[in-house]
Amino acid sequence: MRIARTFPLALILFALAAGCAATNAPTDSSTPDIRPSTSQRPEWETPSSGNSAKDAKAANPNAPMKHITLPVDDGLSDGIAVIRWQIFDNPTVISTFFKKHSPTGISAEVQKQLASNGIMVAEVELTALPTALDELGGTYANIRAWLGQATTWSQLASFQVRGSLAIVVDGSTHRLTDGAIQLLLRGWTVPLESGAVTDIEILPTFLAGGEVPGARTTAREPFPSAGFFVSLQRGSALLITGTVPKSARASSSHGPSAGPPVAPPPTIGELLLTRPNSDSDPLPQRPFIVIIPMIPSSNFFEDAPVESAPTKAP
């Protein structure tokens, strides 16, 4: 078995065409759908203490960044901003953070299902994102991307499979051969009577033959139980990362005869959103994906212009 792991330098390398609108049956055309967003692009604010952050980075190149750029909620931008972080892989700190910031729009049952597939989700206010980063200990990368109205699937992360690979989905083992496991996103602004929200769909899939030289395919195998749907409010931010499920650790045991522990196959979340750290790695890191909805203020009545008061009759 030969496995090659890839993490793109840019968050979104290309937008993937969706031939079918159903969430659990994405398809791919022979050419990627690369269309610039027609939505208002946000400005990105500079860190409030940018100079001191640069000085600290120059003094210690291995120090994580504590001050990061964020999209400015100017009331005009309309779409989805995505940031990719690389957080120091401290399981205790990360687990505590996700327990503290449980997402309001995802049920406890769905969160439990995601955790069994190696995926954790948290939610914080956009203004609290710098504080959240401080809780996590800073980041070694802050890669930004603008998706706009992402009506077609966009790739957030991928894991390339060469040969045969066994993975665990919902506690059962699946075997995949030659292709790419992908974490896809699509989402758009949905006007409501009370204002508007951004609907987000996250879906892991397997693209048979994907990213393997000479291979062609038009269909993906979806894993809907390892994905989720959520409606995000204006001024919120969603954080996603991978983890090793507790059940997987507990199931590692010795075989019938004396010998080394038998570890179960990895989950989708482990493959897509963790890194193969070793004890000798001086900087073990874990990828984080931050999703930020940008919704125009024109969708909200309280942000509508105030009309002039009527003139009293003489």
Would you give the distance in Å from CA 16 to the centre of its chain?
Answer: 16
Distance from C-alpha of 108 to C-alpha of 103, rounded to nearest angstrom: 9
In contact, 240 and 200? CB cutoff 8 Å: no
The amino acid present at 95, given as its one-letter code, is: S
Q: Which residue has the tokens 């995926």?
A: 119
What's the pLDDT at 307? 43
Choose among 86, 10, 106, 125: nearest CA to 242. Answer: 86
DSSP, collapsed to helix, strand or coil, labels residue 25 as coil
Cβ partners under 8 Å of residue 264, min gap 6: 168, 248, 251, 252
Q: For each of the chain's 314 residues, which pLDDT tens digit applies?
A: 434 444 443 433 333 333 333 333 444 433 334 344 567 889 998 875 444 445 445 556 678 988 888 999 989 999 999 999 999 999 999 999 999 999 999 999 999 999 999 999 999 999 999 999 999 999 999 999 999 999 999 999 999 999 999 999 998 999 999 999 999 999 999 999 888 999 999 999 999 886 555 555 557 899 999 999 999 999 999 999 999 887 554 444 444 555 566 678 999 999 999 987 666 667 889 999 999 999 999 998 865 444 444 444 44
DSSP, collapsed to helix, strand or coil, labels residue 130 as helix
Distance from C-alpha of 6 to C-alpha of 279, rounded to nearest angstrom: 21
What's the pLDDT at 193? 87
Distance from C-alpha of 168 to C-alpha of 100, rounded to nearest angstrom: 27
- Give the helix/strand (H/E) hosting 277: none
What's the pLDDT at 263? 75
- pTM comes to 0.78
Q: What are the DSSP E strand ranges found in 22-171? A: 44-45, 70-71, 79-88, 119-125, 139-148, 150-169
